[in-house]
């Protein structure tokens, strides 16, 4: 029986879909069977990031409405036998699916896969409710920005209200040089507010833009720093103990902290 993990954030554009695609690819490369579920109905993206857009026949809404069986709608990845995508519908909206239907779908998928990764839409409305309905764990993605951390905090509160176990945090698009200068929130600032377990820090990396546009997850590129961070997160999801790299976890130099304290900008 597999694990159902929702990847969510509240705020848009912080890297939920990129994170879903990369964790899926990394877990598959590490030998686990994975299905990626795109729960962002109406704003389908995950298929593009995975480079599988041209293979879609049926989608998630077809499955929950009974027009297609899950097996027919699943798209096998071109690189990994053990990685599948269940695409979102592009022509419907969030109201096309109910939380109960998502719960049933996730239950069915976890019978066959080690990991069911659900890519949540932005926001806290029905789309979010659907995405978390079948999940038993959550990963919250936040960038080191005040607005993103605020939205992540809201999401964590909503997940707590659902009686889910405390979510784990991925800090995305970290720029160590800016943190060193005291110009960006550092990890301890973020953890201070959110008070949840950190499962990984992904550095800002231009390779992500290139790989996203090409439909090749950066987690498969040995040279990409972000890719390496995603591979580490995948290992932590599998229960391995992997230290968070010291460079990524840079907590800001003493000088940077001093500057901020003194109000120098």
Partner 1 sequence: MLPDGVGADALAELGRRLGTPPALAGATVTLVPAGALRVNDLGALENLLIGRHSAVCVEVVRAAAVDAGAGRGTGALAAPEARARQGDGRAAPATGDSLLVRRTLRSGQRIRFAGNVVVLGDVNPGAEIVAGGDIVVMGTLRGVAHAGAAGDADAIVAAFRLQPTQIRVGGVIGRSPDGAYERPEIPEIARVREGVLVVERLQPGFGEIAAGDRQA
Q: Which of 81, 111, 163, 241 binds partner 1 (CB under 8 A)?
A: 163
Residues 179-198 vs partner 1: string with x where CB under 8 A? -------------xx-x---
* Candidate ranges 37-45, 51-59, 246-254, 255-263; the one touching partner 1 (CB under 8 A): 255-263
174 neighbors 142 (Cβ within 8 angstroms): no
Ranges within 45-104 binding partner 1 (CB under 8 A): none
Q: Which is nearer to partner 1, 55 or 150 (CB)?
A: 150
- The reply to whether 261 sits near partner 1 by the rule CB under 8 A is yes
Choose between 133 and 226: whose C-beta lies nearer to partner 1: 133
Task: Please give the size of the binding site for partner 1, defined by CB under 8 A.
Answer: 21
Of the CA atoms within 13 Å of residue 184, those in its CB half-sphere come to 21
Phi, psi angles (nearest 5°) of residue 244: -75, 125
**Looking at beta carbons only, is 51 or 182 nearer to partner 1?**
182
CA dihedral 139, 140, 141, 143 (to 10 degrees): -150
Smallest separation, CB 194 to partner 1 (Å): 8
**Run of H or E including 48:** helix 46-49
Shortest distance, position 10 Cβ to partner 1, whole Å: 9
Q: Which stretch binds partner 1 (CB under 8 A): 82-90, 152-160, 204-212, 229-237?
A: 152-160
Rounded Cα distance between 198 and 169, Å, is: 5
Question: Whole-angstrom Cα distance, residue 217 to residue 80?
Answer: 12
Helix (H, G, I), strand (E, B) or coil at 226: helix
Nearest to 104 by CA among 130, 74, 140, 125: 130
Q: Which residues bind partner 1 (CB under 8 A)?
A: 146, 150-151, 153-154, 156-158, 160-163, 192-193, 195, 260-265
């Amino acid at each position: 029986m597999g694990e159902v993990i929702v990847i969510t954030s509240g705020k848009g554009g912080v890297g939920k879909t990129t994170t879903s695609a990369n964790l899926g690819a990394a877990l598959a490369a590490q030998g686990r069977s994975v299905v990626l579920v795109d729960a962002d109905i109406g704003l389908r993206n995950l298929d593009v990031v995975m480079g599988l857009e041209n293979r879609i026949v049926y989608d998630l809404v077809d499955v929950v409405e009974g027009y297609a069986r899950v097996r027919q709608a699943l798209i096998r990845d071109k690189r990994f036998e053990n990685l599948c995508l269940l695409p979102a519908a592009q022509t419907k909206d969030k109201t096309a699916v109910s939380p109960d239907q998502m719960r049933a779908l996730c239950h069915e998928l976890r019978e066959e896969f080690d990991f069911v990764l659900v890519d949540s839409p932005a926001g806290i409305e029905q789309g979010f409710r659907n995405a978390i309905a079948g999940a038993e764990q959550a990963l919250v993605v936040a960038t080191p920005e005040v607005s993103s951390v605020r939205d992540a905090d809201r999401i964590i509160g909503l997940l707590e209200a659902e009686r889910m176990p405390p979510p784990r945090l991925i800090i995305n698009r970290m720029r160590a040089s800016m943190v060193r200068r005291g110009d960006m929130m550092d990890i301890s600032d973020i953890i201070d507010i959110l008070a949840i377990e950190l499962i990984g820090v992904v550095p800002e990396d231009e390779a992500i833009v290139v790989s996203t546009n090409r439909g090749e997850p950066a987690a498969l590129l040995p040279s990409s720093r972000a890719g390496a961070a995603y591979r580490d997160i995948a290992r932590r999801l599998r229960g391995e103990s992997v230290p968070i790299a010291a460079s990524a976890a840079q907590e800001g130099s003493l000088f940077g902290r001093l500057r901020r304290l003194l109000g120098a900008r």
